[in-house]
C-alpha cells in the first residue's frame, strides 16, 4: 500500500491577522517538511481566524482572504515547500451566480472553504456543506453551503476533504467519501471547547471513519477568540477505529503520522485537470497532483497524547482564553480586585499561569466591612504567587458619595462595589492594564453581582464557571502544585471560609442564596439544559426553590448583557449560547398540582 507522511498543524491563528496567520502556516509547513511530511493540514479558516462573525459579510475582507491564499501558495514555493501539499481553511466567495440564486442568497456570498496548495497553485477548493446555526454558531447568517466534494490524488492516494460540521452529519461529504473510495478523509476543524465527560470527538471520528471506510484525519485549532476557546485534540484514526495519532489538548504543535493507505485504481483525470462525477448523490471534483506512490520508507511512530483530567481541562480553557484575550488585544498586564475570597484567588492564579506573575496586578480594596482574614488571605496569595500587590482602602471615596447623596441599604452596598470598579478602571486608564472581572457563573446567573461594580472588566475568566467548580479548580490547582513539589498558591482560608461579599457587617452569601451545591444543581438544569420549572420539580427540586431561582435568573438578564466576555466552558454559556430577551414577562409555570 502507498505510504504518505501526514502532518496535522494544530495552530493558534488570530482573527483578521491575515499576514500573521500566513506566517504561521509557512512556519509550521516548513517545520513539518523538515520532518519529512508530504501533506500538511491546518485548521478551518486558519488564514482568517475563526469565527470572523460579520467580517465575513465585508467584501474587502473576503477579497483580502482570497488574495492571501494565492500569495500563500506562491510563498510556500519560494520557501522551498512547493513539493508539499498544504491544506488550509480560508474565507472564500461563491462565484457561481446560479448556485446563490437557487439558494435565494446574494451573488458573491461568502463561503467557509478549504484549499489544497501545491507547486505554487491552489489546486483544489471545497466549501463547507453543513453550516451550523445553533449554540454559538451563526454560519447560516454568514455563509452559503458548498455542494462539491473534492478528492485530490497525491502520491497515488485519494484524499477527500471535509470541514468541521460536515463530520458531525452522517450525510453529505462523509457518505460521498465512501462512495468515491478515497483512502483518506481529511477534516479541518475549529471546534470550541466544551466541558464534557465523554470523549465525544474520538467516538465521532471512529464512527465516521468506519462510515467513510477509510482513515480519517481530524486537524483542530487551539487558542482563544473572545468567548470561545479551541482546545486542539487533533486525531488520526483508521477505518477500524485504531487511533494512529493524537495531539495534546490546548497546545499548539505538529502531529506527524505515517500512513499506509490503499492505492486508488478509480478513474482519475489527467494531471492538472479537474474531472467531475457524482458519489452518493454529491457532485465530486477530482484533481490529480501525483499518481506514482512514494518509494517505500521506514515509518516513524506517531505520538498518542493522553487526555488530561476534567479539572485540568477546564483550568487550561480558562488560562488559554485569558492569555489569548490579553495577547491578541495588545495588552501586557491585568489588574483586578484581590478580595481574599475564592473567586479572585482563582483568577489571580490563572492570570499568573497565563501571563506570568510580574504582569498580574492584584489590588486589595478593603472597606470598613472587610474582615482581617480577607486582607491577610489576599496578601498571602500575593506572597505565594509573586504577583504585584497593592492596597487601596475605599473608605474615603465611599464617604464622599455618602456625604453628598443619600444612599442606604442595597444602594450603599452597591456603592462600595462600584468604588472598587472605578478604582480598577482608574488604574487601568493610568497604567494600561486590562481589568478582569472576577465573578463566577452562579453569581452572574442569579444577578448576585453589582453592575458597574464587580462586573467591571474587559474579560471575565470565570464567567462560565459555577461556584462549585471554582472551589474544585482551586483545590485541583493547589494539589497539582503540591504534586510538583511547589507551594500551593491559594491560601487554605480562601478555599474554606464561607463566601461573603462583605458589603455589610457579618454578611454571608448564604443569607441571600441557597447553598451553592444546590444552586448550581438547579442552574445546570435550568440554564445549561434549558429545562422548564415543571421538569425541575419533577427532577426532585423543591418547587419554592425552583420558583425563586428561576425568577432571579430571568430578571438578571439585563446585567448579563453588559457583562464582559469570558471563556465558554459549559454546553450553554451566557452570551453566544443563550440568547434570551431582556424584556420578557414569561414566568415558568408551576408544575400541575402546585399552587
Rule CB under 8 A: which of 311-340 touch a second copy?
324-325, 328-329
Counting Cβ atoms within 10 Å, is residue 403 exposed (0-12), middle (13-18) or buried (19+)?
exposed
Query: Could you say whether residue 571 binds a second copy (CB under 8 A)?
Result: no
Strands 334-337 vs 360-364: parallel, antiparallel or unpaired: parallel
* Catalytic one of 44, 194, 227, 528: 44
User: Minimum distance between the CB of residue 132 and a second copy, rounded to whole angstroms?
Assistant: 10
Query: Could you say whether residue 366 binds a second copy (CB under 8 A)?
Result: no
The CA distance from 307 to 235, in Å, is: 12
Q: Which is nearer to a second copy, 18 or 115 (CB)?
A: 18
Query: Residue 250 in contact with residue 238, Cβ under 8 Å?
Result: no
Query: Residue 34 in contact with residue 67, Cβ under 8 Å?
Result: no
Query: Which of 10, 14, 359, 573 forms a contact with a second copy (CB under 8 A)?
Result: 14
Query: Could you say whether residue 162 binds a second copy (CB under 8 A)?
Result: no
Query: Could you say whether residue 59 binds a second copy (CB under 8 A)?
Result: yes
Q: Pick the closest to residue 556 from 462, 443, 409, 412 (CA basis).
A: 443
Rule CB under 8 A: which of 210-269 touch a second copy?
224-226
Stretch that binds a second copy, among 38-46, 295-303, 393-401, 506-514 (CB under 8 A): 393-401
Stretch that binds a second copy, among 56-64, 75-83, 259-267, 502-510 (CB under 8 A): 56-64
Stretch that binds a second copy, among 257-265, 379-387, 479-487, 587-595 (CB under 8 A): 587-595
Counting Cβ atoms within 10 Å, is residue 348 exposed (0-12), middle (13-18) or buried (19+)?
buried
User: Minimum distance between the CB of residue 104 and a second copy, rounded to whole angstroms?
Assistant: 7
Stretch that binds a second copy, among 45-53, 273-281, 337-345, 504-512 (CB under 8 A): 45-53
Residue 128 a catalytic site member: yes
Strands 253-260 vs 243-246: parallel, antiparallel or unpaired: unpaired
Query: Could you say whether residue 403 binds a second copy (CB under 8 A)?
Result: yes
Query: Residue 25 in contact with residue 88, Cβ under 8 Å?
Result: yes
Q: Which is nearer to a second copy, 448 or 516 (CB)?
A: 448
Stretch that binds a second copy, among 156-164, 367-375, 420-428, 506-514 (CB under 8 A): 420-428
Residue 406 a catalytic site member: no
Q: Pick the closest to residue 527 from 476, 568, 472, 485 (CA basis).
A: 568
Residue 546, C-alpha cell as written in the block: 425552583
Residues 6+ apart with CB under 8 A from 36: 5, 256
The CA distance from 153 to 292, in Å, is: 10
Q: Which is nearer to a second copy, 35 or 102 (CB)?
A: 102
Query: Which of 31, 263, 371, 401 forms a contact with a second copy (CB under 8 A)?
Result: 401
The CA distance from 554 to 14, in Å, is: 35
Residue 360, C-alpha cell as written in the block: 498580574
Query: Residue 474 in contact with residue 467, Cβ under 8 Å?
Result: no
Query: Could you say whether residue 98 binds a second copy (CB under 8 A)?
Result: no
Q: Which is nearer to a second copy, 74 or 426 (CB)?
A: 426
Q: Which is nearer to a second copy, 224 or 248 (CB)?
A: 224
User: Minimum distance between the CB of residue 574 and a second copy, rounded to whole angstroms?
Assistant: 11
Enclosing H/E stretch for 305:
none
Q: Is it true that the peptide bond before 51 is cis, omega within 30 degrees of 0?
A: yes
Residue 237, C-alpha cell as written in the block: 484514526
Query: Could you say whether residue 414 binds a second copy (CB under 8 A)?
Result: yes
Query: Which of 98, 104, 295, 484 forms a contact with a second copy (CB under 8 A)?
Result: 104
Distance of alpha carbon 250 from the chain centroid:
10
Residue 164 a catalytic site member: yes
User: Minimum distance between the CB of residue 396 and a second copy, rounded to whole angstroms?
Assistant: 5
Query: Could you say whether residue 430 binds a second copy (CB under 8 A)?
Result: yes
User: Minimum distance between the CB of residue 255 and a second copy, rounded to whole angstroms?
Assistant: 26
A 10 A CB-CB count for 33 gives 20
Query: Residue 259 in contact with residue 265, Cβ under 8 Å?
Result: no
Query: Could you say whether residue 411 binds a second copy (CB under 8 A)?
Result: yes
Residues in the chain: 595
Query: Could you say whether residue 451 binds a second copy (CB under 8 A)?
Result: yes
| Helix 59-78 / helix 18-34 crossing angle, nearest 10 deg | 30
Give the phi and the psi of residue 518 in degrees, each rounded to 5. Answer: -70, -45
Query: Could you say whether residue 498 binds a second copy (CB under 8 A)?
Result: no
Query: Could you say whether residue 361 binds a second copy (CB under 8 A)?
Result: no
Query: Could you say whether residue 452 binds a second copy (CB under 8 A)?
Result: yes
User: Minimum distance between the CB of residue 551 and a second copy, rounded to whole angstroms?
Assistant: 13
Query: Could you say whether residue 588 binds a second copy (CB under 8 A)?
Result: yes
Rule CB under 8 A: which of 528-547 touch a second copy?
530-535
Stretch that binds a second copy, among 176-184, 336-344, 394-402, 540-548 (CB under 8 A): 394-402
Query: Residue 413 in contact with residue 369, Cβ under 8 Å?
Result: no
Query: Could you say whether residue 291 binds a second copy (CB under 8 A)?
Result: no
* Catalytic one of 53, 79, 139, 164: 164
Q: Is 222 helix (H, G, I), strand (E, B) or coil?
A: strand
Residue with cell 462539491: 148
Distance of alpha carbon 349 from the chain centroid:
20
Query: Which of 368, 482, 561, 594 forms a contact with a second copy (CB under 8 A)?
Result: 561
Query: Could you say whether residue 552 binds a second copy (CB under 8 A)?
Result: no
Catalytic residues: 44, 128, 164
Amino acid at each position: 500500500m502507498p505510504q504518505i507522511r501526514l502532518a496535522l498543524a494544530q495552530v493558534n491563528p488570530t482573527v483578521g491577522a491575515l499576514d500573521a496567520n500566513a506566517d504561521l502556516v509557512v512556519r509550521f509547513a516548513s517545520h513539518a517538511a523538515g520532518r519529512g511530511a508530504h501533506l500538511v493540514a491546518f485548521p478551518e479558516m486558519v488564514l482568517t481566524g475563526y469565527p470572523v462573525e460579520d467580517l465575513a459579510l465585508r467584501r474587502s475582507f473576503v477579497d483580502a482572504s482570497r488574495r492571501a491564499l494565492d500569495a500563500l501558495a506562491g510563498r510556500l514555493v519560494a520557501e522551498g515547500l512547493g513539493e508539499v501539499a498544504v491544506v488550509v481553511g480560508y474565507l472564500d466567495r461563491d462565484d457561481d451566480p446560479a448556485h446563490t440564486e437557487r439558494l435565494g442568497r446574494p451573488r458573491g456570498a461568502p463561503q467557509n472553504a478549504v484549499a489544497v496548495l501545491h507547486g505554487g497553485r491552489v489546486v483544489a477548493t471545497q466549501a463547507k456543506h453543513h453550516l451550523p446555526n445553533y449554540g454559538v454558531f451563526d454560519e447560516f447568517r454568514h455563509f452559503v453551503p458548498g455542494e462539491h466534494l473534492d478528492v485530490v490524488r497525491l502520491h497515488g492516494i485519494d484524499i477527500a476533504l471535509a470541514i468541521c460540521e460536515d463530520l458531525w452529519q452522517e450525510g453529505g461529504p462523509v457518505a460521498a467519501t465512501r462512495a468515491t473510495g478515497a483512502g483518506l478523509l481529511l477534516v479541518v476543524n475549529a471546534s470550541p471547547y466544551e466541558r464534557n465527560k465523554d470523549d465525544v470527538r474520538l467516538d465521532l471520528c471512529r464512527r465516521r471513519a468506519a462510515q467513510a471506510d477509510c482513515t480519517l484525519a481530524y486537524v483542530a485549532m487551539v487558542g482563544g477568540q473572545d468567548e470561545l476557546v479551541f482546545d486542539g485534540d487533533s486525531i488520526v484514526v483508521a477505518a477500524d477505529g485504531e487511533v494512529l495519532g493524537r495531539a495534546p489538548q490546548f497546545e499548539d504543535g505538529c502531529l506527524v503520522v505515517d500512513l499506509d493507505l490503499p492505492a486508488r485504481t478509480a478513474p482519475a483525470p489527467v494531471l492538472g485537470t479537474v474531472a467531475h462525477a457524482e458519489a452518493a448523490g454529491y457532485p465530486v471534483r477530482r484533481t490529480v497532483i501525483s499518481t506514482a506512490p512514494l518509494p517505500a520508507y521506514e515509518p516513524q511512530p506517531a505520538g498518542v497524547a493522553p487526555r488530561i483530567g476534567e479539572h485540568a481541562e477546564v483550568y487550561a480553557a480558562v488560562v488559554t482564553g485569558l492569555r489569548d484575550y490579553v495577547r491578541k488585544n495588545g495588552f501586557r498586564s491585568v489588574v483586578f480586585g484581590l478580595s481574599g475570597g475564592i473567586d479572585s484567588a482563582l483568577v489571580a492564579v490563572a492570570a499568573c499561569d497565563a501571563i506570568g506573575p510580574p504582569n498580574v496586578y492584584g489590588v486589595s480594596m478593603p472597606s470598613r466591612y472587610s474582615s482581617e482574614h480577607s486582607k491577610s488571605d489576599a496578601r498571602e496569595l500575593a506572597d505565594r504567587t509573586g504577583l504585584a500587590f497593592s492596597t487601596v482602602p475605599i473608605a474615603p471615596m465611599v464617604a464622599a458619595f455618602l456625604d453628598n447623596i443619600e444612599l442606604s441599604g442595597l444602594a450603599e452596598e452597591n456603592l462600595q462595589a462600584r468604588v472598587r470598579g472605578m478604582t480598577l478602571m482608574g488604574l487601568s486608564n493610568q497604567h494600561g492594564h486590562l481589568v478582569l472581572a472576577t465573578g463566577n457563573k452562579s453569581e452572574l446567573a442569579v444577578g448576585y453581582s453589582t453592575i458597574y461594580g464587580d462586573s467591571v472588566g474587559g474579560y471575565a475568566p470565570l464567567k462560565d464557571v459555577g461556584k462549585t467548580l471554582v472551589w474544585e479548580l482551586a483545590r485541583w490547582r493547589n494539589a497539582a502544585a503540591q504534586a510538583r513539589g511547589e507551594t500551593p498558591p491559594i491560601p487554605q482560608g480562601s478555599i474554606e471560609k464561607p463566601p461573603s461579599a462583605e458589603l455589610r457587617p457579618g454578611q454571608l452569601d448564604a443569607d441571600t442564596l441557597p447553598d451553592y451545591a444546590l444552586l448550581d444543581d438547579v442552574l445546570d438544569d435550568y440554564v445549561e439544559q434549558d429545562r422548564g420549572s415543571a421538569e425541575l420539580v419533577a427532577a426532585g427540586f423543591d418547587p419554592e426553590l425552583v420558583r425563586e431561582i428561576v425568577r432571579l435568573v430571568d430578571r438578571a438578564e439585563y446585567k448579563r448583557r453588559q457583562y464582559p466576555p469570558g471563556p465558554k466552558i459549559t454546553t450553554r454559556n451566557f452570551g453566544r449560547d443563550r440568547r434570551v430577551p431582556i424584556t420578557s414577562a414569561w414566568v415558568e409555570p408551576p408544575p400541575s398540582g402546585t399552587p
